[in-house]
Structure 1
Amino acid sequence: MPQTDPTTTTNTPLLAIFTDFDGTLVELAETPDAVSVPDALAHRLEQTAREFDSAFAVLTGREIADIDRFLSPLQLPIAGAHGAQRRRADGFVEPIDPASLRDAQAIAQALSPLLIAHPDLLLETKQGAVALHFRQAPELETAVRTAMEEALRAVGGFSLVPGKMVYEARPQGVSKGDALRAFMREEPFLGRTPIFIGDDVTDEDAFIAAQDLGGIGIKLGEGETAARMRIADIASVHALIQGLGDIAAREREFTPIH
């Protein structure tokens, strides 16, 4: 699939920008807390979000609070835990299904024997979702998947989603694609053309949703994908986001006032 630079187009439509976080805005790390966030990232995102009238959201497997901590003091619209959590552009945080909270805890407890036996595994228990990372013990992938499948069968109502050196349990009917569609039904996203940038299997639903709504999915890196465009690396993602913001600023500057 050819490399494409959307910033070279003219007469840019009114856009809504969506992006993943880990592996897209920041490099992957050995543990979720070990990621390094570039000093200028929050400022760059804030500038672009302002030029798009706040139609800029992060769709991530992390919790909303994690993204707020990494991008402080910036607070963007965010879908966290693959859409199990969602903060709208007006700041309202949608309530999480109490059953999902309870079942996520039950899944985490069911995984305790595996974690005790293999301390190199890392469990993330989120509000409404669970992730089991095996980056530091890749030989345990099969054991991790089997344990997760057994835990999910015990509670029901959750789906198992593979990621980069991680398996995640999320409530059925929840995805980044569903979150993107929900944002697109609301101001300031309503009526805009969505662009979603991501790098992982868990981003495929959002690529499809963006393209179903007349927009574009942009995949970072190699691998099969539904996205119609690719981008080379994280530095290129940062440049694209800044470039789109610059284009929006120029068009705003030269738009006649009636």
Structure 2
Amino acid sequence: MTLVEILHPSCALFLDFDGTMVDIAPQPSAVHVPQPLIGVLQDARDYLQGALAVITGRPIAQIDDFLHPLQLPVAGVHGAERRGRDGQLHLLNAQPLDHVEEAACLLAAQNPGLLVENKRGSLALHYRQRPDLEQLCLQTMEKAVDESPGVTLLRGKMVMEAKPCGASKGNAIEAFLEEQPFAGRRPVFIGDDVTDEAGFHAVQRLGGLGIKVGEGATCATQRLADPLALRQELEAALAARFIRTT
């Protein structure tokens, strides 16, 4: 089943960012956003009457910078922060991450190539440049998180992230679905990482559709090859709307 068949004005579309809309870069700041993507997202938002949101591990401010001048509803930091269509910002209570930050920064100082990213409400340790240190990073982060009440560890592609226990992409999608213009629509979530599995579970439990981008085990029922395939299918789906409505 393609997005031409799936995308319909009655849908609510939720999109992850890195590895889904854009290719993953060696450093988080080095992501390249193909210029046509912004126009495609704007057209998709208009077609869905505003029911399009970004669900990401990045902070909202970074998504706004990457997609400027387009500003969409966004759940950032895996749902620790969320901005609705009305512009209202919702924040989960952030748990103290001082102990996790201290442990991660000490490890990074001792091992060049590791990158610590401090977000509002979470702390990420990237090891893309040092995949040989995966087990050491895991042991360090697990120990620090275990010693930090109210914090859980989320593993992604070459990254480990300490975040509030209540933050998940599934919870963020469900919160959007209680608000206009998302309420009452069939949810479709497209993501690429293990961090997106909670979102797939949520939309499929609610009668929607999860679409996995790339390889790897998943509970999603549909799959796309890569971010380029997603962008091409979105373009094709939006082009086909003119045929379906005439």
TM range (shorter): over 0.9
Q: How far is the alpha carbon of 1:246 from its aligned partner?
A: 3.9
> What is aligned with 2:44?
48
> What is aligned with 2:177?
184
Task: Give distance in 1, aligned partners of 2:98 and 2:120.
Answer: 9
Answer whether contact 1:134 1:166 (CA < 8 A) is retained: yes
Between 231-240 and 126-135, the greater mean CA deviation after superposition: 231-240
Q: Which runs of 5+ in 1 are unaligned?
A: none
> What is aligned with 2:75?
79
**Correspondence for 1:5 among 2, 6, 17:** 2
**Correspondence for 1:171 among 160, 164, 167:** 164
Percent pairwise identity = 45
**Correspondence for 1:216 among 209, 217, 224:** 209
* SS of match in other structure, 1:111: helix
Task: Give distance in 2, aligned partners of 1:72 and 1:215.
Answer: 29
Between 212-221 and 110-119, the greater mean CA deviation after superposition: 110-119
Task: Give distance in 2, aligned partners of 1:56 and 1:244.
Answer: 15
* SS of match in other structure, 2:71: coil
Answer whether contact 2:114 2:126 (CA < 8 A) is retained: yes
1:67 maps onto 2:63 in alignment = yes
* SS of match in other structure, 2:217: coil
Q: Which runs of 5+ in 2 are unaligned?
A: none
Task: Give distance in 2, aligned partners of 1:8 and 1:154.
Answer: 48
* Corresponding letter in the other structure for 1:89: R
> What is aligned with 2:227?
234
Between 151-160 and 31-40, the greater mean CA deviation after superposition: 151-160
Answer whether contact 2:73 2:85 (CA < 8 A) is retained: yes
Does the C-alpha gap of structure 1 residues 83 and 249 become closer, same or farther in structure 2, counting only changes over 3 Å? farther
**Correspondence for 2:14 among 3, 13, 18:** 18
Q: Deviations over 1:20-39 (max 9, x none)?
A: 10000000111000111101
TM-score, normalization: structure 2?
0.94
Answer whether contact 1:184 1:191 (CA < 8 A) is retained: yes
* SS of match in other structure, 1:168: strand
Task: Give distance in 1, aligned partners of 2:101 and 2:239.
Answer: 44
Task: Give distance in 2, aligned partners of 1:54 and 1:140.
Answer: 43
RMSD: 1.7
Task: Give distance in 1, aligned partners of 2:68 and 2:52.
Answer: 16
* SS of match in other structure, 1:208: helix
Answer whether contact 2:80 2:91 (CA < 8 A) is retained: no
TM-score, normalization: structure 1?
0.90
* Equivalent residue pairs, number: 246
